[in-house]
């Protein structure tokens, strides 16, 4: 009975973290990351200012950041779901400690997720208080995906997903690392407002195969505290360099992940995993191209983040399928 509760709660946490990732992407891409200039409340409230009197009081409190209700509610809904995820992870960790002698029930990954999610909350706070600092925004995205990976591993191991595949684990680990780097580059592109750097031009950029690009300035990770990064601070060539790096690295990632998918499809035990990874890879490439060609439509850009998370999940699932059962 305890193992059933643990397994169900673990899968609920996986669904919840996936929702938090999508909400975070939607909030960021709709330029609502500073919809609330304070943390954890919003203009000093538990929810967000809705009535005229509340909005006037909030504007007086933060004259440099007038209330935009359509942004504030998005930011707060994201925080509510993140808070529920934190609570769920802590309960799951408590159950793991309680039943840690049960060899079937995993506990290390969920315990690490519980500690890690506290750091993730700090990144969420710094995202606001440091005014969308790119390294923090990118770290917050990666932290959400790392939390999802740990919770997914916990849920799959608790569900008996193990063994049966002969794909080398090192090959899968490389795939996970490459996908994670590509996601980081995507986060860096978004945080520096470089998605439009090529002006809806694909496969060339600014009608050139090698446009002017400033790679030195593009990847300066720390520029001090106090700068407002909303809208970006880099010039055109630096943003172009970021955009091109994200594109070029995608070719390397796609090649390796496609190889993994084909290897998985050759084995009956992992055929469906391979099909899922291959389908998600193709869809992700198409969404990336659509982002450029159609000027970053909100639903396409949000889906691009969601499919990245789903691809990472599928690779973690395949890794679990290649790992022997605990003894």
| Distance between CA atoms of residues 106 and 101, nearest Å | 10
- Whether 230 is a known active-site residue: answer no
| Distance between CA atoms of residues 47 and 76, nearest Å | 7
9 contacts: CB under 8 Å, gap ≥ 6: 88, 91, 92, 95
Catalytic pick among 45, 75, 217, 230: 75
Tokens 């396409």, located at residue: 300
| Distance between CA atoms of residues 173 and 168, nearest Å | 9
Runs of H (alpha helix) within 192-270: 215-218, 236-265
Q: Which two tokens stand for residue 287?
A: 């969404």
Q: Catalytic residue positions?
A: 75
């Amino acid at each position: 009975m305890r193992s059933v509760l643990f397994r169900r709660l673990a899968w609920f946490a996986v669904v919840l973290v996936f929702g938090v990732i999508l909400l975070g992407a939607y909030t960021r891409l709709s330029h609502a990351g500073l919809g609330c200039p304070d943390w954890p409340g919003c203009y000093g409230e538990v929810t967000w200012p809705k009535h005229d009197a509340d909005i006037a009081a909030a504007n007086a409190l933060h004259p440099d950041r007038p209330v935009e209700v359509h942004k504030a509610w998005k930011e707060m809904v994201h925080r509510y779901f993140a808070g529920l995820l934190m609570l769920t992870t802590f309960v799951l960790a408590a159950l793991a400690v309680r039943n840690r002698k049960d060899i079937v029930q995993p506990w290390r990954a969920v315990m690490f997720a519980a500690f890690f999610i506290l750091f993730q909350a700090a990144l969420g706070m710094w995202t606001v208080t440091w005014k969308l600092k790119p390294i923090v925004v990118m770290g917050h995205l990666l932290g959400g995906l790392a939390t999802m990976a740990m919770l997914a591993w916990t849920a799959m191991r608790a569900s008996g997903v193990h063994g049966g595949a002969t794909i080398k684990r090192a090959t899968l680990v490389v795939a996970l690392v490459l996908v994670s780097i590509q996601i980081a580059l995507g986060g860096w592109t978004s945080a520096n407002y470089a998605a439009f750097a090529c002006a809806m031009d694909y496969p060339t950029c600014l009608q050139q195969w090698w446009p002017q690009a400033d790679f030195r300035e593009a990847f300066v990770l720390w520029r001090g505290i106090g700068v407002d990064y909303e809208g970006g601070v880099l010039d055109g060539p630096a943003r172009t360099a970021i955009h091109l790096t994200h594109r070029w690295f995608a070719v390397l990632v796609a090649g390796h992940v496609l190889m993994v998918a084909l290897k998985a499809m050759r084995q009956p035990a992992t055929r469906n995993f391979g099909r899922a990874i291959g389908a998600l890879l193709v869809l992700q490439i198409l969404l990336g191209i659509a982002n450029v060609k159609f000027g970053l439509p909100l639903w396409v850009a949000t889906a691009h983040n969601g499919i990245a998370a789903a691809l990472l999940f599928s690779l973690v699932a395949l890794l679990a399928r290649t790992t022997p059962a605990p003894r």
